[in-house]
Structure 1
Amino acid sequence: MSAWDAVSAISSMSGAVTVTAALIYTARQVREARRTRAVTALLAIHKAWNASELNRTRRRLKGGEFDDVDQMSIADRNAIGDVLNQAELVGFLVDRRLVSLHDVMSLFPSIPFSYEKALPHIEERRRAFPMYARNVEVLVRRYETQR
């Protein structure tokens, strides 16, 4: 083996090590960017979840104002729908493993209660849309198994 062959082999090996290191670094960066996007989405949903209109709707749910589905106005149906849509997004993120259930349980402790109080509305909507609020339903079951 000549000196040039040895230099060539060392050069090839150092190039392979450099490429491997670059790939590992890139994979970590992509993973971190994905986590950052998911957390950013979760925080945006949390901000919407705590907006005054949704807080008011959740308080009304808690107070039993929406127990009779037949007596609800369109505005009330839409307000409950807004609460459930936010919870549905959270359930979607957990289902796709984009955010942890533990983080969601910390940030959104009232989702199971809101779901239970909105069940009459959900059941009515499922007559037309069978998959309505399914991610929330799965999320609530996961809350129950973690407690």
Structure 2
Amino acid sequence: MRIVNSGYLTAASLALATVVSTPASADFWWDTREGALYFDGVSGNYGVFYFLDENNNRRKEVAIYIDGMGPQYADTHPGVFPGRYGAFWFNYDGDNCETQSTDPDGRVANEWGKMWFTVDQNSDYFTAEVYDCDEQTPSEEFNGTPGT
């Protein structure tokens, strides 16, 4: 699974190292090796997250829907509660899966998968196990800390 195309990862890493501005202080994001993972909104029970580009714009080609985080943000909770959350990721520009999948908002992706998103006891760190398409074995893992 490539949450971010390899070129994006390199560009994002270099860009984030030189970025001066950050999302607004009322916004919430996680700092990851893939770049800032930004909370964009709520879709039912899901919290919807996108990665930011070097100008802190949402990169809409990859979305992560984390089940159970929607109500936490809908109540203006400034973070997430500890625990393990099921999630789905969708790369709308990719085509690595044999079948399509539809996100909770009705958009179709040809590259997608599931995730297990685990927030530590203090809500200051997460680990995400990433699965490609309908595979049963994780293809990668990434971590994050709340943005500052």
Whether TM-score is above 0.5 comes out as no
Of Structure 1 and Structure 2, which has the larger fraction of its residues in helix? Answer: 1
Of Structure 1 and Structure 2, which has the larger fraction of its residues in strand? Answer: 2
**Higher RCO (Cα < 8 Å, 6 or more apart):** 1
State TM-score, norm by structure 2.
Answer: 0.23
